[in-house]
Each structure stands twice: as C-alpha cells, then as structure tokens.
Amino acid sequence: MSNRLLDKRIMITGAAQGIGLAIANAFAREGASLFLIDRDEALLQEEAAKLKGEGYQVGARSADITDAKAIVAAVAEGEAEIGRINALVNNAGVNVFSEPLDTSDEEWNRCFDINLKGAWNCSKAVLPGLIDQGGGVILNIASTHAFTIIPHTFPYPLAKHALLGMTKSLGLEYAPKNVRVNALAPGYVATQKVIDYWNGFPDPEAAKAETMKLHPNGRIATPEEIAMAAVFMISDECPFMNATCLTVDGGLSVQQHPA
C-alpha cells in the first residue's frame, strides 16, 4: 500500500465481481474510502464485508443504475457513510451481442440503458458535488469495442462508442471546473463474463485457445491488471489527462491480423 488514493472517496458501480471488484480491492489498498454499488445485493454485501474486515472504509448499497432516482438516493447514502464523493468509476455493464437484424427492442434498450444511460445517471448524480468541491474524477470503463467493431456483437459496440463520446463531451464541458473525465478500455479480461462467452461454444477450450491466439503475447488480461490502470487514472498522477481513453488490451486492437 502506497496511499496513492489517500483522501479519495470513490463510488464504484458493478463492484461485486469481475473488474469492478478488482478495482475496489486495488483502490482500498491504495488508501481510498469506497462506496460500492451492484444489483446483486447478497454478493455485494459479502465482498464489502471482506474489505471492512481488512480494516478498509467501505460502504455498499444495492441499486439499479438505470433508475436515476435510486442512484441519487444511493449517492446521498454513500456520502453520509464515507464523506462527499470526489471520484466515480462507472464500471457496471452488460454484454449484448447479436446480429443487427436479429436484435430485439428489448435487447437494444437493455444494452443502452445499462451501458450508457446508467453511466450518465451516476455521472449526473455526482457531478454537482464534484464541481462544488472544486474538482474530481470520473472514470468510465469502456472497452476496445468503443473504437473497433467485431461482427455479430451488435449493439454492444454502439453503446461503448457512445460511452466514449460521453467521456469526451463531459471531459471538455467540465474541464474549467477541474473535473477530469476519462475512459479505460480493456480488451479481453479473465472474468466470469469471458468464461461464460467461451462456454457458449460447442468446444469451450477451443474457443479459449482462439481468444488467446488473438493477442501478441498469447494471453488475456487479469482483472488486477485493469484495476492498477484504474488506480493511475483516478490518482493525482495524471492531472493533465482528460477527455481521453487509455487502452489496456495487450496490443489486441493494434494488429491487423493475429500471428
């Protein structure tokens, strides 16, 4: 622990598992106070209790990020518990992959409600406080889908492209208020979502091997590697980084064809 996030009071969405949980653990070790949000109340409380048991200052509330009123109430509760929030990580998201003409209205709405509207609901809820405090940070967990397209993954890339657009727009809008808004774009990460993706194929091991072959170094990221990039972006180590996106994908999105 090096206290890189000391005095940071950070709200993290989708914090009960995967990348969100790895971020919560990394932030706690770096001295931050945390307010965690997830829809899975049982798992959220279990993970929050573990962090509290290790001596970290952590609050948690189950909330649906697509419900703007619920998020406003959650922010108020979080600030009562850990103090005024001065940083937000919009991590909660959902994979919605389909063929364009096979995409139902329900799938479209679910994709944009969670991956875009939810991030805006949370940003809108914390922005007045960040401005009032003289500044703060919002970090949106995007994806390499935010600037590349993989066939048969519609409409997920559209939502992530839009999230990157929102990042840039808010970053420019509130730069005069000393609010930084950035995005972090992971590629494949060893989370349950990716495992579930592999398991959707007739031969999961073959699907996993194909994924590994896409990467120059033959492996995918760990959640902890994404979390440490998030530590940097939330910290005061990059004060002039704003309205931009950091890609952490092992070079996946750079090469035209896998070796």
Q: Which residues are catalytic?
A: 156
Residue 13 contacts residue 118 (beta carbons within 8 Å) = yes
CA gyration radius, the chain: 18
Residue holding tokens 């931009």? 244
DSSP 8-state symbol, 94? -
CB count within 10 Å of CB 224 equals: 14
DSSP 8-state symbol, 242? -
Residue holding tokens 């033959």? 218
The amino acid that residue 215 corresponds to is H
Pairing between strand 154-155 and 97-98?
Answer: antiparallel
- CA 235/CA 237 separation, integer angstroms: 5
Measuring CA to CA, which residue among 192, 194, 221 is closest to residue 208?
194
Measuring CA to CA, which residue among 170, 173, 151, 148 is closest to residue 161?
148
Instruction: Return left, alpha or beta for 34; rule: phi > 0 is left, psi -120 to 50 is alpha, else beta.
Output: beta
Pairing between strand 87-90 and 136-141?
Answer: parallel
- CA 17/CA 24 separation, integer angstroms: 9
- For 233, phi then psi, to 5°, come to -75, -30
